[in-house]
Amino acid sequence: MIVAAPRLYSTYVGKKYAMAVSGIVLMLYVLGHMIGNLKIYLGAADLDAYADWLRTVGEPALPRAALLWIVRLALIAAFAIHIHSAYALTRANRKARVPYASQREWIAADFASRTMRWTGVIVGLFVIFHLLDLTWGPANPDFHHGDPYHNVIESFQRVPVALVYVAANVALAIHLYHGAWSLTQSMGWVFAYRRQLAIAYAVIIGVGNVSFPLAVMTGIVG
């Protein structure tokens, strides 16, 4: 199977699968990350203890942060595959201009793929800023290693930055909605309530993530 993977990836359908599978990995991360971040509502001790647990989980069987690095490497791989397949599929679609049954269908498909491109670029730029802000620190006004609660509050107390987080997470929710819906098509998972499931997933992530900057801006947290 592993030997056949590059050959499958060289095909249009293979790239669709690659995009769907890498999308699922990223979707699971985004869900886990949002649920973990809900600890912000429990206070500094809980969020910071959770962040510490992310580094110690797997000890003593594994060295410190080993599992965290496995997740990070999987994320980097998924991100790279997702972007490469998106780029390659866009180019292939432009060349082929796949014929649709009706003009309306074509306009709808074109609108969805343009939306995916734009929201995808916004989310990509957001992730770079987010890492500089809350993981590495140079974009944070007062970054303390090992104290994510403090870093989140410091970051979101800057209103323009909080608004950037809100806007980027709305873009992410739109991206997740279209992505969750179209991955069921790509994978051939045809079941009832597919659209509702995609909407529910996107709304849960969107509401959860947008709530964090809003909670700090309004003083509910901090």
Rounded to 5°, the CA angle 93-97-102 comes to 125
The least distance separating ligand HEM from the CB of residue 17, rounded to whole angstroms, comes to: 22
Binding mask 161-190 for ligand HEM (x = CB under 6 A): ----x---x--x------------------
Q: Which C-beta is closer to ligand HEM: that of 127 or that of 139? A: 127
- Applying CB under 6 A, the site for ligand HEM has a residue count of 20
Binding mask 185-214 for ligand HEM (x = CB under 6 A): ------------------------x--xx-
The least distance separating ligand HEM from the CB of residue 103, rounded to whole angstroms, comes to: 35
Q: Which C-beta is closer to ligand HEM: that of 13 or that of 146? A: 146
Report if residue 123 touches ligand HEM, rule: CB under 6 A.
yes
The residue within the footprint of ligand HEM, chosen from 23, 120, 148, 206 (CB under 6 A), is 148
Q: Which C-beta is closer to ligand HEM: that of 100 or that of 141? A: 141
Output the six-digit token pair for 86.
Answer: 């998106």
Q: Which C-beta is closer to ligand HEM: that of 20 or that of 123? A: 123
Dist CA 121 CA 82 (whole Å): 12
Peptide linkage before 60 cis (omega within 30 of 0): yes
Report if residue 130 touches ligand HEM, rule: CB under 6 A.
yes
The footprint of ligand HEM on residues 50-79 (CB under 6 A) is 51, 54, 72
Written in H, E and C, the secondary structure of the chain is CCCCHHHHHCCHHHHHHHHHHHHHHHHHHHHHHHHHHHHHHHCHHHHHHHHHHHHHCCCCCCCCCHHHHHHHHHHHHHHHHHHHHHHHHHHHHHHHCCCCCCHHHHHHHHHHHHHHHHHHHHHHHHHHHHHHHHHCCCCCCCCCCCCHHHHHHHHHCCHHHHHHHHHHHHHHHHHHHHHHHHHHHHHCCCCCCHHHHHHHHHHHHHHHHHHHHHHHHCCCCC
The footprint of ligand HEM on residues 78-117 (CB under 6 A) is none
Q: Which C-beta is closer to ligand HEM: that of 18 or that of 215? A: 215
Interface residues with ligand HEM (CB under 6 A) are 30, 33, 37, 51, 54, 72, 123, 127, 130-131, 134-135, 148, 152, 165, 169, 172, 209, 212-213
